[in-house]
Each structure stands twice: as structure tokens, then as C-alpha cells.
Amino acid sequence: MSLIDNAIHLPKEEMPRQWLNVLPQLPEPLGAYKAPDGSDMPPAALGAIFPPKLIEQEFSDQAQIPIPEPILEAYALWRPTPLVRAYGLEKALKVNSKIYYKNESLSPSGSHKSNTALAQAYYNHEAGIKRLTTETGAGQWGTALAIAAQRFGLDIRVFMVKVSLAQKPYRQAIMSLYGAEVLSSPTTLTQAGRAALEQNPLTPGSLGLAISEAVEEAAGRADTNYALGSVLNHVILHQTVIGQEIKKQLALVGQKPDYLVACHGGGSNFGGLAVPYVADVLAGQKIQLLAAEPAACPSLTKGVFGYDYGDMAKLTPLMPMYSLGSDFVPPAIHAGGLRYHGASPIVSSLVKSKIATPVAVSAQDAFQYAKLLAQTEYVVPAPESSHALALTCLKALELEKAGTPGVLVFVLSGHGLLDLSAYENAPD
């Protein structure tokens, strides 16, 4: 008997040695960021909260950026991640399509966020920074940055969205285990936090507000920088290892993708999947890039394209993006990582130029297919990832009905083991 390996493994030597920068490829150049007051903003203005290398990457015109060795060494702890053929799921759905998932849940933090967390911690450490502040929604980003800070010897303070902290107490425990200080946002430590509490003492908090708090503190301290887990160009850049690996893995089994699906909150997961395929789409290949966003926070499908702030207190630059408005407080859905009012400028540009297509997914579908994945593939997906999973399943069923099965790949951006309370209260 020969044993089937459901996973396509890339050898370590095949790990991507560079990140892919989509900026030079975009049909229309991204509009320049503007200062919060609307005036022109030189890149150097970001120096108050970011190290020089990340600012350089944010606006780079290089097509490829080599990954420094200390980051490659850290990636090698778990990368390349397997691309798994979901035979059990296909069978349960009774579809002839081939469904693959890229298992980013195997990282030290349990999600794809480690890809950029390690890069950001490294560049800050290189720049002599001793301390980072950040926000976290579901806790995946905070966990990833806590581990990355631990690896590169930085202290870290995490502003965690109040409602998420209450929903997911184990998140605080794991970030603390890795040495992070975790605060429930809004706090009374920042002007942004105090203002929000004054307006509504019972606010559940939001990612936009937690970002304001973390940025405000970092801007006010010379030894402290801020790190963002999504939205920005350099974050998406670091995530492009995902799409690059998928491409190599599909080539190993002689497959070409028809649909590539990732969840969309701020854009880092979707961007990391999509960017390596942008050139193929522009060259006319029939690949659909689908961004699965929650119906409860539909920034891409219902948002308006224009300049908006990345945070609630309007401390960040104005960026060209789809947005529901920087003062939008999304409902307390369990996919906390997708509770963001805006979308990254890069993903916004891909959607605007019709290279990528956004689809809103209901929480009900997300939970239903999450349960199916657990019971067929023995993997518990994060609520965020479940949106990509659900969209993939719905698409596979649609293809089956049309008699046109295809090859679908979704990113399992993280596991849901620290989100299990969500499953207890899941909508039926």
C-alpha cells in the first residue's frame, strides 16, 4: 500500500528569497498618501513611527525586494507551508472541482501574520528601536508581533479591541506568555482612547480606534515605533511569500488555478495571495482573484473609493482606498480580524481596476463551512479564514451545477483554536 500525502510540500531550498512588489505593476499608480490635514506628505514624515527600511518598501518601485537572511532564517522555522488537497471537503460537497488550501495556520503564531511580523520586528531592531506598539483585533496580529518581538529582543505593548479581548481571553494569555503587555482598547492612556470613552463609555472598541491609540503612543516616544498588521504596502509585500509558494506548489502537481480566494479585512491575506498572480491576470490568464469579506463589514463591496484615514482619530495619513468611513464601528462579529472600516490601497486598486473581485460572505455561511472543514479535514479554521473557505465552497457548488468543475485554492490564514468561543455562539 502506498500512502497518499494530501499535502504538497516545497523543499526548504525552494522557499522564496524575495518579496514581490506590485506597485510598479499596477495599471494606475497609487495616489500619493496625504498628511492628515490633506496637505502633501513626504515619505519621511512616517519616520516618527516606522523605521527607514519599511518606509522605503512602502513606496518602492523595485519589482522584487530580497528577503534579508535573519528573516529567511525565521521563516524557515515553519515555511514553506504545505498546500493541501482537501479531498475530504470535496467528497462532502460532492464536487468534481479540485480544492486546495494553503495552510498558513502552521506558523508559530498560528496565522499568516507571522510573515510580516518577523520582517517588521527585524527592521525596527536594525534601526535601533527598543519598543513597539500595535493594535490587534482577533488577536492574531498581536500574537504574531509578540513572538516576533521576542525573537528580535523588542518590548511590545498591544492595544487589543475590547470586544475581542472579552471574546477571546486565551489571546491575552498567549501574548503575555511571549512577553507582550496587553491592554483593552480604548484605554485612558491616550487622547484617542479618552475621547472615545467620553463619547460612549460602553464602546466595544474597533480596530480603527486601537490603531489610533498605538500610533499616538509611538509618535510621542523616540524609542518606540508602531507596527501595523495589514493595510499598508509593505505589509502586503511581506505576505507575497504565500502566493509565490502556491504558484510553485501547483506547478509541482501540474495544476493551474481557476479561482484564488482569501479573506479580506485590511488586505494583507488577500494581497499576499493575489500579488504574485497580478502579472498573469494582466497577461490575460483566466484566473479569478476573489476577496471574501464579511457581510457585516463590507468595505470593498459597499464602501466608497476615495481618500480616508486608516484610524478613527484621524492620526494616520489619508490613503486612497475603499472605506466605510473611518468612524464606522463594525458590529461585534467573531471574525475580529475582518472588522476594519477600510481596505488596503493596493487591494483597493486591484478591485478598482477589476483585477480582483470582492464578494461579501455571511457569518452563517462562514460558520457552516468551518464546521464542515473541521469534520472532513480535521482542521479548525479561524473565523476570518472561514470566509474564504465558505466562498470557495459556494463557488465549487456553483461550478458543479454549471457542469464546469475547476481548480480552487483558498488560504487558510489561521487556525481557530483560540477562537473556539466563537463556535459556541455561532449562528445556525
Task: Report the interface residues with a second copy, using CB under 8 A.
Answer: 1-6, 12-13, 15, 69, 72-73, 76-77, 108, 110, 147, 150-151, 169-170, 173-174, 176-179, 371, 374-375, 378-380, 417-418, 420-421, 423-424
Question: Is residue 271 within 8 Å of residue 236, measured between CB atoms?
Answer: yes
Pairing of strands 18-20, 304-309: unpaired
Q: Minimum distance between the CB of residue 115 and a second copy, rounded to whole angstroms?
A: 14
Nearer to a second copy, 2 or 39 (CB): 2
Nearer to a second copy, 103 or 185 (CB): 103
Q: Minimum distance between the CB of residue 343 and a second copy, rounded to whole angstroms?
A: 30
Nearer to a second copy, 5 or 398 (CB): 5
Nearer to a second copy, 257 or 383 (CB): 383
Nearer to a second copy, 23 or 174 (CB): 174
Nearer to a second copy, 23 or 183 (CB): 183
Q: Minimum distance between the CB of residue 87 and a second copy, rounded to whole angstroms?
A: 10
**Residues with Cβ < 8 Å from 201, sequence gap 6 or more?**
none
Nearer to a second copy, 76 or 253 (CB): 76
Q: Minimum distance between the CB of residue 146 and a second copy, rounded to whole angstroms?
A: 10
Cell of 178: 511571549
Q: Minimum distance between the CB of residue 201 and a second copy, rounded to whole angstroms?
A: 27
Q: Minimum distance between the CB of residue 13 and a second copy, rounded to whole angstroms?
A: 7
Dist CA 309 CA 35 (whole Å):
10
Nearer to a second copy, 216 or 419 (CB): 419
Question: Is residue 220 within 8 Å of residue 126, measured between CB atoms?
Answer: no
Q: Minimum distance between the CB of residue 160 and a second copy, rounded to whole angstroms?
A: 15
Q: Minimum distance between the CB of residue 218 and a second copy, rounded to whole angstroms?
A: 24
Q: Minimum distance between the CB of residue 418 and a second copy, rounded to whole angstroms?
A: 6
Nearer to a second copy, 178 or 277 (CB): 178
C-alpha distances in Å from residue 353, one per residue of 16, 346, 357, 360: 27, 11, 10, 19
Pairing of strands 131-136, 356-361: unpaired
Nearer to a second copy, 120 or 316 (CB): 120
Q: Minimum distance between the CB of residue 121 and a second copy, rounded to whole angstroms?
A: 13
Q: Minimum distance between the CB of residue 3 and a second copy, rounded to whole angstroms?
A: 4
Sign of CA dihedral 241, 242, 244, 248: positive
